[in-house]
Amino acid sequence: MLAATAGAFVPDLPRLFSAELTPDPEAKLPAPTRYSYRGTHTTVVQGVKAPLRIRLEATVPAELGNVLAFYRTELSKLGWQEQRDGAVIAADHVQLAFASPLGPALLELHRKDSSTTVKLVQKNALVATDANVMPEPGQAKLVFANISKTDATLTINEQNIKRAAGAHAVSLDLQPGKYSYEMSVPGHPATTNVLDVAAGDTWELTVGPDGDAWSPLLLY
């Protein structure tokens, strides 16, 4: 899997002090033209143009209620259906799940000083299914990849998973929760960490070309 990130701080005074929140036609996911920071992060499957997962992060100099109203309006135009399960709407933060035409999505808003931070994630269910990284209902999936030149072992959930150099990635299903894990490669210090997985998520643990364990990547 491949991940790409693009972001920028934009000290654009007309945008910062515009009277209204209007959609930016250049944004990959709905976002207002008024912002002090905006970044887009995508995860793609090699050889597939459509992203597996796309995440928009932004800081908008506007009241949380106005930002929420903007997103409810713009997402509805795109056919996103707001879900009641797990919805949180408070004075300083909002969390709303959506069913989008491509797959599940999540909107998170947080009040920060005189601005509102935005995190909007959309998953592509068809790409996940074709790439064999779609979790089973109510479960999470973990993908273990070894692209180093030697064998590697992942120990998690009382399982030892060994992958030879150059072998295809392997996946396993996990119940939602926190898991301690260890990744070991001969000649390198073992890497230990804790992974917190939620239902519907797919994570990837990778041993890189030099034998170093990469940070966990949320694929889907």
CATH classification at residue 172 = 2.60.40
Q: Give me the domain span that covers residue 69.
A: 2-127
Based on the fold, state whether residues 119 and 184 are members of the same structural domain: no
Structure tokens at 117: 């931070």
Based on the fold, state whether residues 77 and 145 are members of the same structural domain: no
Of 127, 158, 192, which one is at a domain's C-terminal end? Answer: 127
Domain count, the chain: 2
Residues of the chain above pLDDT 90, percent: 87
Taken as a whole, the chain contains a residue count of 220
Task: Say whether pLDDT at 11 is over 50.
Answer: no
The span from the CA of 173 to the CA of 7, in Å, is: 33
CATH number, residue 18: 3.40.1000
The residues, ordered by sequence, that sit 6+ positions from 84 with a Cβ below 8 Å of its Cβ are none
Based on the fold, state whether residues 108 and 164 are members of the same structural domain: no
The span from the CA of 153 to the CA of 47, in Å, is: 27
Based on the fold, state whether residues 170 and 87 are members of the same structural domain: no
Based on the fold, state whether residues 111 and 28 are members of the same structural domain: yes
The span from the CA of 119 to the CA of 99, in Å, is: 16
Look at residue 166 in the predicted model and tell me its pLDDT: 84
Look at residue 16 in the predicted model and tell me its pLDDT: 46
Look at residue 49 in the predicted model and tell me its pLDDT: 87
pLDDT tens sequence across 158-208: 999 999 998 999 999 999 999 999 999 999 999 999 999 999 999 999 999
The span from the CA of 153 to the CA of 186, in Å, is: 9
> Where is 9: in which H helix or E strand?
strand 2-9
> Where is 143: in which H helix or E strand?
strand 140-146
The residues, ordered by sequence, that sit 6+ positions from 188 with a Cβ below 8 Å of its Cβ are 211, 212
Of 75, 110, 127, which one is at a domain's C-terminal end? Answer: 127
Reference 126, options 38, 191, 220, 208; nearest CA is: 220
Look at residue 1 in the predicted model and tell me its pLDDT: 61
Beta carbons of 56 and 35 less than 8 angstroms apart: no
Look at residue 191 in the predicted model and tell me its pLDDT: 95
Task: Say whether pLDDT at 121 is over 60.
Answer: yes
Of 76, 107, 127, which one is at a domain's C-terminal end? Answer: 127
pLDDT tens sequence across 35-88: 999 999 999 988 888 999 999 999 999 999 999 999 999 999 999 999 999 899
User: Residue for token digits 């008024």?
Assistant: 34
Residue 14's pLDDT band (cuts 50, 70, 90)? very low
Based on the fold, state whether residues 54 and 113 are members of the same structural domain: yes
Based on the fold, state whether residues 23 and 117 are members of the same structural domain: yes
pTM attached to this predicted model:
0.85
Q: What is the mean pLDDT of the chain?
A: 91
Based on the fold, state whether residues 122 and 17 are members of the same structural domain: yes
Based on the fold, state whether residues 210 and 143 are members of the same structural domain: yes
Based on the fold, state whether residues 152 and 181 are members of the same structural domain: yes
Look at residue 3 in the predicted model and tell me its pLDDT: 57
> Kind of pairing, strands 37-44 and 2-9?
antiparallel
Task: Say whether pLDDT at 8 is over 80.
Answer: no
Based on the fold, state whether residues 69 and 136 are members of the same structural domain: no
Q: Which of 7-21, 61-75, 152-166, 206-220 has the lowest mean pLDDT?
A: 7-21
Based on the fold, state whether residues 27 and 112 are members of the same structural domain: yes
> Kind of pairing, strands 140-146 and 202-207?
parallel
Residues of the chain above pLDDT 70, percent: 91
